[in-house]
Amino acid sequence: MEAVTWLLFTIGIALILAKIGDAIIERFEFPGVLGELIMGMVLGNLVYFGLVSPHYLPIVSGQGFTTTATEISEFLAKLGIIFLLFLGALDTDIEKLKKTGLTATVSTVLGVFVPLVLGWFVLMKMGYPSREAFAGGVLLTATSIGLTVRVMMDLGVLKSEVGAASLSASVMDDFLGIALVIFAVGSGSLIELSAKIVLFFIITGVIWWYLVDYYIKFAEKLHVEKGVLGMALGMMFVFAALAEGWFAAAIEGAFMMGLVLSKLPEGKRLMDDVRAIGYGLLIPFFFVHTGAMLNLTVFKNANALVLAAVLTTIAVVGKVLGRGFGAWITAWGRGRDFLFTKENFWMSLQMGIGSIPRTEVALVDLMVAIHGGAIPPEDAPEFIAATLIFITVSVLITPPLLKWAFRREIEEARATKVARKVERIQETKEKIKELKGSQ
Amino acid sequence: MELENALETFHSMKVRSIMPRPETLPVVERDAEIINVLKLLRTRHHVWVVENRETMRLFGVIRYLDVIDVLLPPKSYKFKLGTTSRTMKSLLGGATRAEDMAEKNPLTIEQDATVLDALMKMRKYRVQVLAVVEDGRLVGEVSLRILIDELLRLLRVGGAQWKQ
């Protein structure tokens, strides 16, 4: 009984701190998720450093702290991941995605595969087994476009060709980042796994794409409080169970159900309710729980720092190279003559730098890889530390790098503004002169 | 007409019989400038966005409350997974045309549905207006304002008399 009391208390404290942390970090114009992770880190380390008994703060699991209460909080965090992905998919505009241009497509594919392959290769060289190294590579794949959009908005360059392409590319690489994790956690031979994936996507994607309309109409006829929401969430959990059973990645099911529902107006209307459950409870709890998994004593071990340095370098360099080269090679659809121009180089570099930040999907992939066994428990603390470090570094360095990469456009915009002002002053002066002359 | 009888008649009325004529609907084409949408929203609570006026194929809807997302400065947005579509409605976020701020695939209802069906759907999804479509074409709308008008008319003159 007492365990339940302290679990409820922990959930309450975690949510309050998450929202406060989110608000503080947002004030500095960084993604609020960093604040939630930091708050989680503080809570977790109160336990790791023996300042609070794990019985009173059941937020960390593993590392000798697992109890029934911590298992429940871990499950709540898993629900947070499921809701995060469901919401992300529900918000996706598939029609827009279909119209993604060549530059965005090529740069996305290379922007995903270069860090993935580099990460995989370097981690194997460092002595990690292939499956674990691959999972490490997957962590580096998905960009979090939020920060880039905000900085580009502030700089007034979001409406540019690079801004539009960056947006499309980031939606696509979220897809790839989420899909690739299956290969890290899935078991069995490659053929068996591929067959399962194909079957899963046929059942959830193709069949449900046509059936979901009837399902929602049936749900509407039930005339019960939040009937449609309940039925939609119910099917989402069935999809998640199927994906968990087949490849230990429940997120794939939640993501597919979100995508399928996103085509219906009724599905889109569920977003407010799903957002309320997700961002009101489960998603902040997931971020706090993830932050709490970072045991700061891990830094006593040099391996964690080396891994963090390696992953951070690949995360930054791999993305800029991959996505930048992908954009450069397409010459932005302007033909061969444009290929070796300075403009192509700068636009591609801007595209590459815009893809550096990582947040939510990297954390989701990390947790899926840990829970799915791709990253073994003994290496989990190192990977958690390394991931949180490369996320923080990627978020901190992106704004100044983007400002540097777009400096020419910013100066041009500033000059145009000044010229317009001068023009307006000149016009006013002339009008005053005319008025004086007519008097 | 007594209130109970009036409501009974009201609930069984077909949407077809109370919806306004298509030419009176607030409609813009999907590539209309946002300024034109805002002008319409000064006097209307929503604007329908169609592919073009010839086909009247429904593309989306812009509701009064969507204007909040359009007008807010970029700093007020929280960029999180699952909230990006809202952000992209912002004028400073790159929205320039009606299609950029419209919610695609709006909720619809058939012409032969009853007022009760419309009310149930409105309550279920918490919306104030439904598009009336035929083969994907916008042919009318049913909004709370229209429903209130019809009920008041019904109470004053009675359903059958009013229809005549």
Q: What domains can be seen in chain A, in order of their start residue?
A: 89-278+293-411 (1.20.1530.20)
Q: Do A153 and B125 touch (CB under 8 A)?
A: no
CA proximity to B119, closest of B128, B111, B107: B128
Q: Domain map of chain B by residue range? A: 3-163
| CA atoms of A341 and A331, how far apart (whole Å) | 9
For chain A, list residues whose CB is within 8 angstroms of any CB belonging to chain B. 26, 29, 31-33, 84-85, 87-88, 90-91, 93, 95, 145-147, 149-150, 153-154, 158-159, 163-164, 167, 174, 220, 223, 227-228, 263-266, 268-269, 271-272, 274-275, 278-279, 360-361
Nearest residue of B to residue A88 by CA position?
A: B82
User: The complex's ipTM?
Assistant: 0.77
What's the pLDDT at A125?
95
Q: Which pLDDT belongs to residue B37?
A: 92
* Pair of tokens at residue A363: 């954390």
What's residue A418's pLDDT? 85
Indicate yes or no: CB of A145 within 8 angstroms of CB of B83: no
| Angstroms from B86 CA to nearest CA on chain A | 9
CA distance A175 to A100: 13
d(CA A323, CA A166): 10
Per-residue model confidence as pLDDT tens digits over A126-138: 999 999 999 999 9
> In this structure, what token pair is assigned to residue A329?
């090679």
Query: Which of the four pLDDT bands, split at 50, 70 and 90, describes residue B164?
Result: very low
Say what the pLDDT of residue B29 is: 94
Rounded-to-integer distance, Cα A109 and Cα A430, Å: 56
Q: Which of B48, B81, B89, B110 best probes binding to A when mutated, by most A CB atoms within 10 angstroms?
A: B81
The distance of B126 to chain A (nearest Cα, Å) reads 8
By C-alpha distance, the chain A residue nearest B86 is: A91
Contact A189, A207 (CB under 8 A): no
Q: Mean pLDDT over all residues of chain A?
A: 89
User: For chain B, what is the HEC assignment?
Assistant: CCHHHHHHHHHHCEHHHHCCCHHHCCEEECCCEHHHHHHHHCCCCEEEEECCCCCCEEEEEEECCHHHHHHCCHHHCCCCCCCHHHHCCCCCCCCCEHHHHCEECCCEECCCCEHHHHHHHHHHHCCCEEEEEECCEEEEEEEHHHHHHHHHHHHHHCHHHHHC
* Closest residue in A to B104 (Cα–Cα): A265
pLDDT in tens, A161-174: 888 888 778 778 88
Residues of A in contact with B88 (CB under 8 A): 167
Sheet holding B108-109, edge to edge: B108-109, B129-134, B137-143
**How many CB atoms lie under 10 A from the CB of residue A160?**
17
- Quote the CA–CA distance of B1 and A127 in Å, as a whole number: 85
Q: What mean pLDDT is predicted for residues A226-251?
A: 91
pLDDT, tens digit, 9 for 90 and up, residues A68-120:
889 999 999 999 999 998 988 888 877 766 666 788 889 999 999 999 999 99
Q: Which one of 3.40.50.1000, 3.40.640.10, 3.90.1300.10, 3.10.580.10 gives the CATH number of domain B3-163?
A: 3.10.580.10
